[in-house]
Structure 1
Amino acid sequence: MMKKFRLSKFESIAQGLVEGSFSRLLGGELEPLEVASRLARAMEDGHRDGFAPDVYAVSLNSVDYETLQGKNAQLEIELAATVVELAKKMDLRLKEHPQITLMADAAVKKQQIRVKASFHKSVGKTTQLSLKAEDVLAAEREMLTALAAVDAYLIVDGGQHVALERPLLTIGRRTDNDLVLDASTVSRRHAQIRWRYGRFVLYDLSGRPGRTQVNSQPVSEYALQSGDVITLADVKLIYGEGDDERRFPQDKKFSQEETLPKPKEW
Protein backbone atom coordinates (compact mmCIF):
# COMPACT_ATOMS: atom_id res chain seq x y z
CA MET A 1 0.00 0.00 0.00
CA MET A 2 1.20 3.49 -0.81
CA LYS A 3 2.60 5.61 2.01
CA LYS A 4 0.36 8.56 2.98
CA PHE A 5 2.02 11.96 3.29
CA ARG A 6 1.11 15.38 4.58
CA LEU A 7 2.18 18.36 2.48
CA SER A 8 5.22 18.90 4.72
CA LYS A 9 6.22 15.35 3.91
CA PHE A 10 5.90 16.08 0.19
CA GLU A 11 8.37 18.90 0.64
CA SER A 12 10.71 16.60 2.55
CA ILE A 13 10.61 14.03 -0.25
CA ALA A 14 11.04 16.67 -2.92
CA GLN A 15 13.94 18.37 -1.14
CA GLY A 16 16.46 15.70 -2.11
CA LEU A 17 15.50 15.97 -5.78
CA VAL A 18 15.51 19.72 -6.30
CA GLU A 19 18.97 20.79 -5.23
CA GLY A 20 21.94 21.27 -7.49
CA SER A 21 21.23 20.52 -11.14
CA PHE A 22 17.43 20.72 -10.78
CA SER A 23 17.66 24.27 -9.48
CA ARG A 24 19.83 25.26 -12.41
CA LEU A 25 17.38 23.72 -14.89
CA LEU A 26 14.68 26.14 -13.72
CA GLY A 27 17.02 29.08 -14.21
CA GLY A 28 15.72 30.98 -11.19
CA GLU A 29 12.31 31.50 -12.81
CA LEU A 30 10.52 29.04 -10.50
CA GLU A 31 11.06 27.79 -6.96
CA PRO A 32 12.44 24.22 -7.36
CA LEU A 33 10.87 22.89 -4.14
CA GLU A 34 7.46 24.23 -5.18
CA VAL A 35 7.69 22.53 -8.59
CA ALA A 36 8.69 19.14 -7.16
CA SER A 37 6.12 19.38 -4.35
CA ARG A 38 3.34 20.15 -6.84
CA LEU A 39 4.35 17.13 -8.92
CA ALA A 40 4.35 14.94 -5.79
CA ARG A 41 0.95 16.21 -4.68
CA ALA A 42 -0.57 15.64 -8.13
CA MET A 43 0.92 12.14 -8.09
CA GLU A 44 -0.74 11.24 -4.79
CA ASP A 45 -4.06 12.81 -5.75
CA GLY A 46 -4.15 10.88 -9.02
CA HIS A 47 -2.67 7.48 -8.10
CA ARG A 48 -4.74 4.31 -8.63
CA ASP A 49 -4.12 0.77 -7.39
CA GLY A 50 -0.48 1.41 -6.60
CA PHE A 51 0.25 3.13 -9.92
CA ALA A 52 1.27 6.76 -10.28
CA PRO A 53 -0.18 8.91 -13.08
CA ASP A 54 2.09 9.01 -16.10
CA VAL A 55 0.80 12.14 -17.87
CA TYR A 56 1.47 15.57 -16.34
CA ALA A 57 0.20 18.87 -17.74
CA VAL A 58 2.28 21.66 -16.22
CA SER A 59 0.86 25.17 -16.66
CA LEU A 60 3.11 28.21 -16.26
CA ASN A 61 2.72 31.93 -16.56
CA SER A 62 3.29 32.96 -20.19
CA VAL A 63 6.43 34.94 -19.38
CA ASP A 64 7.94 32.10 -17.32
CA TYR A 65 7.07 29.64 -20.08
CA GLU A 66 8.84 31.61 -22.79
CA THR A 67 11.89 32.19 -20.59
CA LEU A 68 12.26 28.54 -19.61
CA GLN A 69 11.72 27.25 -23.13
CA GLY A 70 14.48 29.55 -24.32
CA LYS A 71 16.89 28.46 -21.60
CA ASN A 72 16.39 24.70 -21.56
CA ALA A 73 14.81 22.69 -24.36
CA GLN A 74 15.31 19.51 -22.31
CA LEU A 75 13.24 20.64 -19.32
CA GLU A 76 10.32 18.29 -20.02
CA ILE A 77 12.72 15.32 -20.16
CA GLU A 78 14.37 16.37 -16.90
CA LEU A 79 10.98 16.80 -15.19
CA ALA A 80 10.00 13.31 -16.36
CA ALA A 81 13.11 11.95 -14.64
CA THR A 82 12.05 13.78 -11.48
CA VAL A 83 8.60 12.14 -11.65
CA VAL A 84 10.27 8.71 -11.88
CA GLU A 85 12.31 9.44 -8.74
CA LEU A 86 9.25 10.77 -6.89
CA ALA A 87 7.29 7.61 -7.72
CA LYS A 88 10.08 5.49 -6.23
CA LYS A 89 10.10 7.61 -3.07
CA MET A 90 6.32 7.22 -2.73
CA ASP A 91 6.28 3.45 -3.36
CA LEU A 92 4.31 3.79 -6.59
CA ARG A 93 4.80 2.12 -9.95
CA LEU A 94 4.55 3.66 -13.42
CA LYS A 95 2.84 1.86 -16.29
CA GLU A 96 4.50 4.14 -18.83
CA HIS A 97 7.46 6.48 -18.81
CA PRO A 98 6.11 9.87 -17.64
CA GLN A 99 5.01 12.34 -20.28
CA ILE A 100 5.42 15.99 -19.26
CA THR A 101 3.79 18.78 -21.25
CA LEU A 102 4.62 22.39 -20.45
CA MET A 103 2.06 24.98 -21.48
CA ALA A 104 1.56 28.73 -21.12
CA ASP A 105 -1.49 29.93 -19.21
CA ALA A 106 -2.16 33.62 -18.68
CA ALA A 107 -4.32 32.76 -15.65
CA VAL A 108 -1.29 31.44 -13.76
CA LYS A 109 0.59 34.07 -11.79
CA LYS A 110 4.27 34.67 -12.44
CA GLN A 111 6.59 32.20 -10.69
CA GLN A 112 3.68 29.89 -9.90
CA ILE A 113 2.73 26.52 -11.35
CA ARG A 114 -0.32 24.29 -11.81
CA VAL A 115 -0.07 20.54 -12.34
CA LYS A 116 -2.77 18.15 -13.58
CA ALA A 117 -1.96 14.44 -13.55
CA SER A 118 -3.69 11.66 -15.47
CA PHE A 119 -3.05 8.29 -17.09
CA HIS A 120 -2.28 7.41 -20.68
CA LYS A 121 -5.37 6.15 -22.45
CA SER A 122 -5.15 2.59 -23.74
CA VAL A 123 -5.71 2.85 -27.49
CA GLY A 124 -4.25 -0.33 -28.89
CA LYS A 125 -0.84 -1.85 -29.55
CA THR A 126 -0.21 -0.06 -32.83
CA THR A 127 -0.71 3.47 -31.56
CA GLN A 128 1.88 6.18 -31.43
CA LEU A 129 1.81 5.85 -27.64
CA SER A 130 2.93 2.24 -27.81
CA LEU A 131 5.72 3.19 -30.17
CA LYS A 132 6.75 5.96 -27.83
CA ALA A 133 6.88 3.53 -24.89
CA GLU A 134 9.08 1.20 -26.94
CA ASP A 135 11.37 4.13 -27.77
CA VAL A 136 11.65 4.99 -24.07
CA LEU A 137 12.52 1.40 -23.15
CA ALA A 138 15.10 1.30 -25.92
CA ALA A 139 16.63 4.56 -24.65
CA GLU A 140 16.78 3.18 -21.11
CA ARG A 141 18.48 0.00 -22.34
CA GLU A 142 20.96 2.10 -24.29
CA MET A 143 21.74 4.17 -21.19
CA LEU A 144 22.28 1.08 -19.01
CA THR A 145 24.56 -0.36 -21.69
CA ALA A 146 26.57 2.87 -21.69
CA LEU A 147 26.84 2.78 -17.90
CA ALA A 148 28.08 -0.81 -18.01
CA ALA A 149 30.67 0.10 -20.64
CA VAL A 150 32.06 2.93 -18.49
CA ASP A 151 32.12 0.62 -15.44
CA ALA A 152 32.53 3.56 -13.06
CA TYR A 153 32.97 3.26 -9.31
CA LEU A 154 33.94 5.11 -6.15
CA ILE A 155 36.43 4.09 -3.48
CA VAL A 156 35.40 5.66 -0.17
CA ASP A 157 38.17 6.61 2.26
CA GLY A 158 40.47 4.01 0.75
CA GLY A 159 38.13 1.14 1.63
CA GLN A 160 34.50 0.79 0.56
CA HIS A 161 33.95 0.10 -3.16
CA VAL A 162 30.74 1.52 -4.67
CA ALA A 163 29.78 0.66 -8.26
CA LEU A 164 27.98 3.40 -10.23
CA GLU A 165 25.39 1.23 -11.95
CA ARG A 166 22.48 3.68 -12.02
CA PRO A 167 22.18 7.17 -13.55
CA LEU A 168 21.80 8.89 -10.17
CA LEU A 169 23.63 8.53 -6.84
CA THR A 170 22.89 10.75 -3.84
CA ILE A 171 25.56 11.10 -1.15
CA GLY A 172 25.24 12.41 2.39
CA ARG A 173 24.81 11.73 6.08
CA ARG A 174 21.08 10.96 5.96
CA THR A 175 20.19 7.28 5.85
CA ASP A 176 17.95 7.67 2.78
CA ASN A 177 20.92 8.58 0.57
CA ASP A 178 22.20 6.01 -1.91
CA LEU A 179 25.66 6.35 -0.38
CA VAL A 180 25.55 7.12 3.35
CA LEU A 181 28.66 8.74 4.85
CA ASP A 182 28.67 8.38 8.63
CA ALA A 183 30.59 11.56 9.39
CA SER A 184 29.28 14.55 11.35
CA THR A 185 31.13 16.94 9.03
CA VAL A 186 29.18 15.73 5.98
CA SER A 187 25.87 17.44 5.14
CA ARG A 188 22.64 15.47 5.32
CA ARG A 189 22.33 15.71 1.53
CA HIS A 190 25.84 16.66 0.51
CA ALA A 191 26.34 15.76 -3.16
CA GLN A 192 24.89 14.04 -6.18
CA ILE A 193 26.50 12.15 -9.04
CA ARG A 194 24.34 12.13 -12.17
CA TRP A 195 24.82 10.57 -15.61
CA ARG A 196 24.54 13.34 -18.19
CA TYR A 197 25.58 13.50 -21.83
CA GLY A 198 27.68 10.34 -21.59
CA ARG A 199 29.57 11.30 -18.42
CA PHE A 200 29.14 11.22 -14.67
CA VAL A 201 28.79 14.73 -13.26
CA LEU A 202 29.29 15.66 -9.60
CA TYR A 203 26.98 18.32 -8.11
CA ASP A 204 27.46 20.04 -4.77
CA LEU A 205 24.24 20.08 -2.72
CA SER A 206 25.71 21.26 0.58
CA GLY A 207 25.08 24.93 -0.16
CA ARG A 208 28.35 25.89 1.51
CA PRO A 209 31.31 26.95 -0.67
CA GLY A 210 34.39 24.79 -0.38
CA ARG A 211 32.61 21.82 1.21
CA THR A 212 32.78 19.85 -2.03
CA GLN A 213 36.12 19.65 -3.81
CA VAL A 214 37.75 17.75 -6.65
CA ASN A 215 41.52 17.44 -6.61
CA SER A 216 41.67 19.99 -3.77
CA GLN A 217 39.70 22.63 -5.72
CA PRO A 218 36.16 23.77 -4.74
CA VAL A 219 33.48 22.83 -7.28
CA SER A 220 29.74 23.22 -7.64
CA GLU A 221 29.42 21.12 -10.80
CA TYR A 222 32.15 18.98 -12.32
CA ALA A 223 32.40 16.32 -15.05
CA LEU A 224 34.34 13.50 -13.40
CA GLN A 225 37.41 11.87 -14.92
CA SER A 226 39.04 8.64 -13.85
CA GLY A 227 41.47 9.25 -11.01
CA ASP A 228 39.73 12.34 -9.63
CA VAL A 229 39.83 12.66 -5.84
CA ILE A 230 36.54 13.97 -4.44
CA THR A 231 36.50 15.54 -0.98
CA LEU A 232 33.18 15.94 0.84
CA ALA A 233 33.98 17.88 4.02
CA ASP A 234 36.79 15.63 5.32
CA VAL A 235 35.75 12.39 3.58
CA LYS A 236 37.70 11.44 0.47
CA LEU A 237 36.51 9.34 -2.46
CA ILE A 238 38.35 8.25 -5.60
CA TYR A 239 36.41 8.14 -8.86
CA GLY A 240 37.55 5.46 -11.29
CA GLU A 241 36.46 3.68 -14.45
CA GLY A 242 36.94 0.13 -15.73
CA ASP A 243 40.33 -1.48 -15.20
CA ASP A 244 41.69 1.66 -13.55
CA GLU A 245 40.81 0.11 -10.20
CA ARG A 246 44.16 -1.64 -10.15
CA ARG A 247 45.79 1.82 -10.02
CA PHE A 248 43.81 2.80 -6.91
CA PRO A 249 44.28 0.06 -4.28
CA GLN A 250 41.63 0.00 -1.56
CA ASP A 251 44.21 0.57 1.17
CA LYS A 252 45.43 3.81 -0.44
CA LYS A 253 46.17 6.48 2.19
CA PHE A 254 45.49 10.15 1.57
CA SER A 255 47.65 12.98 2.86
CA GLN A 256 47.10 16.70 3.17
CA GLU A 257 50.10 17.27 0.91
CA GLU A 258 48.60 15.24 -1.93
CA THR A 259 48.24 17.41 -5.03
CA LEU A 260 46.51 16.60 -8.29
CA PRO A 261 45.65 18.63 -11.40
CA LYS A 262 43.07 21.35 -10.87
CA PRO A 263 39.59 20.46 -12.15
CA LYS A 264 37.88 22.35 -14.90
CA GLU A 265 34.33 23.48 -14.24
CA TRP A 266 31.88 21.87 -16.68
Structure 2
Amino acid sequence: MNLKELETRLQSLIEVDLLKILPGRRVEDVIVQKLAAAIHLNTTKLDNGSVAAPNVYTLVMNPEEAAKWRDEKLLAILLHSIVTVAQEAGFRITISPIITIIADEKISLRDAQVMASHRIEPMAETNASPLDTGKLEDPSKMPENAFLIVEGVKVFPLKLPVINIGRRLDNQLVIDDPRVSRNHAQLRAIKGRFVVFDLNSTGGTFVNGQRASQTVLYP
Protein backbone atom coordinates (compact mmCIF):
# COMPACT_ATOMS: atom_id res chain seq x y z
CA MET A 1 0.00 0.00 0.00
CA ASN A 2 1.57 3.29 -1.09
CA LEU A 3 1.16 6.59 0.76
CA LYS A 4 -1.82 7.79 -1.30
CA GLU A 5 -3.64 4.49 -0.85
CA LEU A 6 -2.92 4.53 2.88
CA GLU A 7 -4.24 8.09 3.17
CA THR A 8 -7.42 7.28 1.22
CA ARG A 9 -8.10 4.17 3.29
CA LEU A 10 -7.42 5.99 6.57
CA GLN A 11 -9.85 8.76 5.57
CA SER A 12 -12.52 6.17 4.76
CA LEU A 13 -12.08 4.30 8.05
CA ILE A 14 -12.31 7.50 10.09
CA GLU A 15 -15.42 8.70 8.25
CA VAL A 16 -17.22 5.36 8.73
CA ASP A 17 -16.49 5.30 12.48
CA LEU A 18 -17.43 8.96 12.90
CA LEU A 19 -20.78 8.35 11.21
CA LYS A 20 -21.54 5.49 13.61
CA ILE A 21 -20.18 6.93 16.85
CA LEU A 22 -19.97 10.72 16.49
CA PRO A 23 -22.32 11.77 13.68
CA GLY A 24 -21.73 15.35 12.62
CA ARG A 25 -18.05 15.36 13.60
CA ARG A 26 -15.28 15.39 11.01
CA VAL A 27 -11.51 15.26 10.93
CA GLU A 28 -9.72 17.88 8.84
CA ASP A 29 -8.15 16.52 5.65
CA VAL A 30 -4.77 17.99 6.56
CA ILE A 31 -4.68 15.93 9.77
CA VAL A 32 -5.49 12.72 7.90
CA GLN A 33 -2.81 13.53 5.31
CA LYS A 34 -0.15 14.21 7.92
CA LEU A 35 -1.16 11.21 10.01
CA ALA A 36 -0.93 8.91 6.99
CA ALA A 37 2.49 10.33 6.14
CA ALA A 38 3.64 9.88 9.75
CA ILE A 39 2.61 6.21 9.71
CA HIS A 40 4.21 5.59 6.32
CA LEU A 41 7.51 7.35 7.07
CA ASN A 42 8.10 6.09 10.61
CA THR A 43 7.87 2.33 10.30
CA THR A 44 10.77 0.28 11.62
CA LYS A 45 12.14 -3.09 10.56
CA LEU A 46 12.10 -5.77 13.26
CA ASP A 47 14.69 -8.49 13.79
CA ASN A 48 12.45 -11.09 12.14
CA GLY A 49 12.24 -9.00 8.97
CA SER A 50 8.69 -7.74 9.48
CA VAL A 51 7.88 -4.03 9.52
CA ALA A 52 6.26 -2.41 12.56
CA ALA A 53 4.03 0.65 12.48
CA PRO A 54 4.68 3.50 14.92
CA ASN A 55 2.84 3.19 18.24
CA VAL A 56 3.25 6.69 19.68
CA TYR A 57 1.46 9.57 17.97
CA THR A 58 1.69 13.22 19.01
CA LEU A 59 -0.68 15.79 17.52
CA VAL A 60 0.32 19.41 18.11
CA MET A 61 -2.61 21.77 17.50
CA ASN A 62 -3.93 25.24 18.09
CA PRO A 63 -5.39 25.39 21.65
CA GLU A 64 -8.92 25.82 20.30
CA GLU A 65 -8.61 22.68 18.17
CA ALA A 66 -6.75 20.78 20.89
CA ALA A 67 -9.69 21.29 23.27
CA LYS A 68 -12.03 19.66 20.74
CA TRP A 69 -9.68 16.72 20.30
CA ARG A 70 -9.54 15.84 23.99
CA ASP A 71 -12.52 13.58 23.43
CA GLU A 72 -12.13 9.90 24.33
CA LYS A 73 -14.53 8.73 21.62
CA LEU A 74 -12.76 10.75 18.93
CA LEU A 75 -9.34 9.48 19.99
CA ALA A 76 -10.67 5.91 20.11
CA ILE A 77 -11.90 6.28 16.53
CA LEU A 78 -8.52 7.57 15.42
CA LEU A 79 -6.66 4.74 17.18
CA HIS A 80 -8.97 2.10 15.69
CA SER A 81 -8.46 3.55 12.22
CA ILE A 82 -4.67 3.71 12.66
CA VAL A 83 -4.46 0.07 13.76
CA THR A 84 -6.75 -1.12 10.96
CA VAL A 85 -4.98 0.74 8.15
CA ALA A 86 -1.55 -0.29 9.46
CA GLN A 87 -2.53 -3.96 9.52
CA GLU A 88 -4.09 -3.73 6.06
CA ALA A 89 -0.84 -2.18 4.81
CA GLY A 90 1.07 -5.19 6.13
CA PHE A 91 2.64 -3.48 9.14
CA ARG A 92 2.85 -5.17 12.52
CA ILE A 93 1.31 -3.64 15.62
CA THR A 94 3.73 -4.61 18.39
CA ILE A 95 1.99 -2.75 21.21
CA SER A 96 -1.26 -0.78 21.55
CA PRO A 97 -0.69 2.71 20.13
CA ILE A 98 -1.25 5.88 22.13
CA ILE A 99 -2.12 9.44 21.07
CA THR A 100 -1.10 12.62 22.88
CA ILE A 101 -2.70 15.98 22.09
CA ILE A 102 -0.54 19.06 22.69
CA ALA A 103 -1.73 22.67 22.45
CA ASP A 104 0.52 25.24 20.76
CA GLU A 105 -0.59 28.79 19.96
CA LYS A 106 1.89 28.93 17.06
CA ILE A 107 -0.16 26.36 15.13
CA SER A 108 -2.91 27.89 13.02
CA LEU A 109 -6.51 26.69 13.17
CA ARG A 110 -7.29 23.62 11.04
CA ASP A 111 -3.61 22.72 10.90
CA ALA A 112 -1.49 20.39 13.00
CA GLN A 113 1.93 18.88 13.41
CA VAL A 114 1.85 15.09 13.57
CA MET A 115 4.78 13.13 14.96
CA ALA A 116 5.02 9.35 15.13
CA SER A 117 7.57 7.23 16.95
CA HIS A 118 8.05 3.93 18.74
CA ARG A 119 7.50 3.44 22.44
CA ILE A 120 10.47 2.71 24.69
CA GLU A 121 10.94 -0.98 25.50
CA PRO A 122 13.06 -2.41 28.32
CA MET A 123 16.40 -3.90 27.29
CA ALA A 124 16.62 -7.64 27.84
CA GLU A 125 19.40 -8.97 30.02
CA THR A 126 21.94 -10.83 27.88
CA ASN A 127 25.51 -12.03 28.03
CA ALA A 128 26.54 -9.64 25.29
CA SER A 129 29.52 -7.36 25.72
CA PRO A 130 28.85 -3.98 27.38
CA LEU A 131 27.94 -1.10 25.12
CA ASP A 132 30.91 0.79 23.74
CA THR A 133 30.57 4.23 25.29
CA GLY A 134 33.85 5.56 23.97
CA LYS A 135 32.23 7.76 21.33
CA LEU A 136 29.14 9.02 23.14
CA GLU A 137 29.71 12.59 22.04
CA ASP A 138 30.18 11.84 18.35
CA PRO A 139 27.52 14.07 16.66
CA SER A 140 27.21 11.59 13.80
CA LYS A 141 25.84 9.03 16.29
CA MET A 142 23.05 11.30 17.55
CA PRO A 143 19.49 10.08 16.84
CA GLU A 144 17.64 12.53 14.58
CA ASN A 145 14.45 14.36 15.61
CA ALA A 146 14.30 12.63 19.00
CA PHE A 147 12.21 14.16 21.78
CA LEU A 148 10.51 13.43 25.10
CA ILE A 149 6.93 14.26 26.07
CA VAL A 150 7.15 15.70 29.60
CA GLU A 151 4.07 15.70 31.84
CA GLY A 152 1.96 14.86 28.80
CA VAL A 153 2.11 18.39 27.37
CA LYS A 154 5.70 19.56 26.90
CA VAL A 155 8.01 18.56 24.07
CA PHE A 156 11.66 18.34 25.13
CA PRO A 157 14.00 17.94 22.09
CA LEU A 158 16.93 15.57 22.63
CA LYS A 159 19.79 17.50 21.05
CA LEU A 160 22.67 16.69 23.41
CA PRO A 161 24.63 13.41 23.62
CA VAL A 162 24.25 13.33 27.41
CA ILE A 163 21.14 14.65 29.19
CA ASN A 164 20.75 14.60 32.97
CA ILE A 165 17.24 14.44 34.41
CA GLY A 166 16.12 15.36 37.92
CA ARG A 167 14.91 18.07 40.29
CA ARG A 168 18.27 19.84 40.58
CA LEU A 169 18.38 23.07 38.59
CA ASP A 170 21.70 22.18 36.94
CA ASN A 171 20.13 19.21 35.12
CA GLN A 172 19.46 19.62 31.40
CA LEU A 173 15.89 18.44 31.98
CA VAL A 174 14.52 19.73 35.29
CA ILE A 175 11.35 18.03 36.57
CA ASP A 176 9.83 19.74 39.61
CA ASP A 177 8.08 16.75 41.14
CA PRO A 178 8.65 15.35 44.66
CA ARG A 179 8.64 11.82 43.23
CA VAL A 180 11.70 12.69 41.13
CA SER A 181 15.15 12.54 42.74
CA ARG A 182 17.57 15.46 42.53
CA ASN A 183 19.72 13.40 40.17
CA HIS A 184 17.23 10.87 38.85
CA ALA A 185 18.29 9.53 35.46
CA GLN A 186 20.56 10.12 32.51
CA LEU A 187 20.04 9.82 28.77
CA ARG A 188 23.05 8.95 26.63
CA ALA A 189 23.34 8.78 22.85
CA ILE A 190 25.02 5.44 22.14
CA LYS A 191 25.53 4.11 18.63
CA GLY A 192 22.66 6.12 17.18
CA ARG A 193 20.18 5.43 19.98
CA PHE A 194 19.30 7.01 23.30
CA VAL A 195 19.73 4.84 26.37
CA VAL A 196 18.18 5.76 29.73
CA PHE A 197 20.16 4.98 32.88
CA ASP A 198 18.60 5.18 36.35
CA LEU A 199 20.98 6.99 38.74
CA ASN A 200 20.02 5.02 41.86
CA SER A 201 16.95 7.21 42.23
CA THR A 202 14.69 6.77 45.25
CA GLY A 203 11.50 6.15 43.30
CA GLY A 204 13.10 4.33 40.39
CA THR A 205 12.80 4.82 36.63
CA PHE A 206 9.81 3.16 35.01
CA VAL A 207 9.23 2.41 31.33
CA ASN A 208 5.81 1.11 30.27
CA GLY A 209 5.06 0.40 33.93
CA GLN A 210 8.20 -1.68 34.49
CA ARG A 211 11.09 -0.58 36.65
CA ALA A 212 14.34 -0.51 34.69
CA SER A 213 17.93 0.42 35.45
CA GLN A 214 18.84 0.66 31.76
CA THR A 215 16.48 1.11 28.82
CA VAL A 216 17.05 1.74 25.14
CA LEU A 217 14.86 4.00 23.01
CA TYR A 218 14.46 2.50 19.55
CA PRO A 219 13.89 4.92 16.65
* TM-score normalised to structure 2 length: 0.48
Structure holding more helix per residue: 1
